[in-house]
Amino acid sequence: MLGIGKTGWIEKEKPVAGPFDAIVRPLAVSPCTSDIHTVFEGAIGDRKDMILGHEAVGVVEEVGTEVKDFKPGDRVIVPAITPDWRSIAVQRGFPQHSNGLLAGWKFSNFKDGVFAEFFHVNDADMNLALLPDGISPKAAVMITDMVTTGFHGVELAEIQFGMSVVVIGIGPVGLMAVAGAALAGAGRIFAVGSRPKCVEVAQAYGATDIINYRNGEIVDQIIELTHGEGVDRVIVAAPGIDMIKKGVKMAKPGSVISNVNYFGEGEDLLIPRIEWGCGMAHKTIRGGLCPGGRVRMENLANLVQYGRLDPSLLLTHEFNSFDKMEEALLLMKDKPKDLIKPVVVLE
C-alpha cells in the first residue's frame, strides 16, 4: 500500500527478529477483503508504504534467541491475528486486543504484512503452528483468517443443537460460518447470498436454505419461511451499515446476533428500536475480532487433518508466482462472479 487508493511494489530491508520472534518466508498467501478496505477505504488511520497481507503459510527462516519450539526450515501456519502474549489483555481474556483496540491484528494493520519475500512474526512460540503433513499450504492458508473468523462468528452466536441460524453473506468468511454452524449442530441454516459459486459451496458446507436478496428483502423472506417467528441465531458476515439492523429484525426474542464483518467505512451502525423491543427484547448483539495464536491454529488444523472440514472449497483462483500478488489482490476488489478466494502459491 503506497497510500490511500494506491498499490504497487516497494523495496524494504529484511525484517529483524527480536529474541522471541521469527522471520518467515511465505509458501502460500491469500489476499483478503480487509486488505481492500485498508487500501481503498482507509479503514482505521492513514498508512503509507506498508506491505499488505495477513494470510500466510510459510517456512521459518530464522528465530530469536529465546524461541524454543521452532527452528529454521519448519513449515508453519501463521495466524492473521498475532497477539502480544505478554500483555495484560491476555489475562483479561481478550488477547486480540493486546496493547490496544484490535492491536492483536498486526499484519498490514500496525506493521508490514506477509506479501513479501520475508516477514516478521512476534512471539513465535505463541503465534506459529507447525503445518501438519497431509495439509497443503494453499488449503492451510484458509485456516489463518477465513476459518478462524467464520468459526468465531459461530462461537459468538453460541449455537446449540438444532437451532435455526441465518448467515448473512456467503463470501469466504460467511461460508466458514455456515460450515462452523453445521459442525456446532445447527438445524436449519439459511445462507444469504446470490453468486452461484458461493451458493454451491454453502450447500456443500451444510446450508439448508438459500436466501437471495435479489428475490426481495431478506428479512421478509426469513420471517415468512419461519412462519413469523424469526431465527435463533444470526451471524453477520457481509458489509453494509444496515446489516446489524437486518439481523435484529430477523431474530427471535432471546436470540444472539453475532458480527464478524469488518465495517470499513461510516460513522455509525443502526439498531432498529421496535424490533429490539425498545431495548428490552433480550436480543444480544456481539461482535469480535477472531482469536489468533498457536493453539487456535492447531485446533483448526485438526479439523482439516482429520476430515471434519475441507477449506480448499474456498479456493477458486490460483497463481504461482510472486509477481502475481497484485493481480490476486485486485480480484478481491473487483469480485468476479466466480470468485471466492484467490491464493498465490510460492513453493
Residue 45: the pLDDT is 63
State the pairing for strand pair 22-29/119-121.
antiparallel
Q: Which DSSP symbol is given to 147?
A: I
Q: What angle do CA 283, 287, 291 make, to 5 degrees?
A: 140
Cβ–Cβ under 8 Å, residues 127 and 148? no
Residue 28: the pLDDT is 98
Residue 216: the pLDDT is 97
Three-state DSSP at 115 gives coil
Residue 165: the pLDDT is 98
Residue 138: the pLDDT is 97
Residue 267: the pLDDT is 85
pLDDT digits (tens, 9 = 90+) for 159-215: 999 999 999 999 999 999 999 999 999 999 999 999 999 999 999 999 999 999 999
Q: Please give the mean pLDDT across all residues of the chain.
A: 95
- What's the pTM? 0.95
CA distances to 87, 169, 221, 223 from 211, rounded to whole Å, are 43, 10, 7, 12
Longest dimension (CA), the chain: 62
Residue 44: the pLDDT is 61
Residue 265: the pLDDT is 75
Residues of the chain with pLDDT under 70: 42-46
180 contact partners, CB below 8 Å, separation of at least 6: 150, 151, 153, 154
Burial 86-113 (b: 16+ CB within 10 A, else e): ebebbeeeebbbbeeeebbbbbbbbebb
Q: Which DSSP symbol is given to 332?
A: H
Residue that has been written with the C-alpha cell 498499490 in this structure: 7
Cβ–Cβ under 8 Å, residues 119 and 29? no
Residue 42: the pLDDT is 63
Burial 292-308 (b: 16+ CB within 10 A, else e): bbbebbeebbebbeeee
Q: Which DSSP symbol is given to 118?
A: S
Cβ–Cβ under 8 Å, residues 169 and 340? no
Q: Which DSSP symbol is given to 263?
A: -
